[in-house]
Amino acid sequence: MDWERARAEASAIRKTVFVLEQGVPEEIELDQHDPLSVHALARDHAGCAIGTGRLLPAERRGALAIGHIGRMAVLAAWRGKGVGGALLERLVAAAGSRGDAEVALSAQTHALDFYRAHGFVAEGGEYLDAGIPHRAMRRALQPLKRNS
């Protein structure tokens, strides 16, 4: 969904996870990329939002389009129950549907195994983002089969 539809619920989840739990400065958590991105929300059986993530507009590298997934956040009570995986795969599918050749993300190092389990490969060294250790990761996407 677009940012206008996702804003209230996504920003509340992100504030809880990133700002309150992880100590990310609130002024850098929401950014200029939100209105340009595709957002996903996961909901519980009662319809309450419990997780979120976003897919930024594709970046062009020559003829290739590369999507970037970010701001993946799941409320603590729902972690380890498949919510993050479902969100991630939904965003990967959205990238593939628009023709992206691969998706990239910046993974907190404690979540590397989670992303590896979803086909992402780490590259480069560790770096700090908002004071939290991260590594870059990528996943190639299958080309779309087009009817001729």
Q: Which domains does the chain carry?
A: 3-140 (3.40.630.30)
**pLDDT tens-digit profile, the chain (148 residues):** 999 999 999 999 999 999 999 999 988 999 999 999 999 999 999 999 999 999 999 998 888 899 999 999 999 999 999 999 999 999 999 999 999 999 999 999 999 999 999 999 999 999 999 889 999 999 999 765 555 4
pLDDT value of residue 24:
92
Q: Name the β-bridge partners of 105.
A: 69, 137
Confirm if 27 and 19 have CB atoms less than 8 A apart: no
Kindly report the CA angle at 132 between 129 and 134, in degrees rounded to 5?
Answer: 70
Q: How far apart are CA 72 and CA 135, in angstroms?
A: 14
Sheet with 49-61: list strands edge to edge. 38-43, 49-61, 64-74, 102-108, 132-140, 121-129
Name which of 49, 54, 5, 4 is nearest 29 in CA terms.
Answer: 54
Q: What is the DSSP string of 32-95?
A: TTGGGSEEEEEE-TTS-EEEEEEEEEEEEETTEEEEEEEEEEE-GGGTTTTHHHHHHHHHHHHH
pTM: 0.91
Cα of 31 vs its chain's centroid, Å: 14
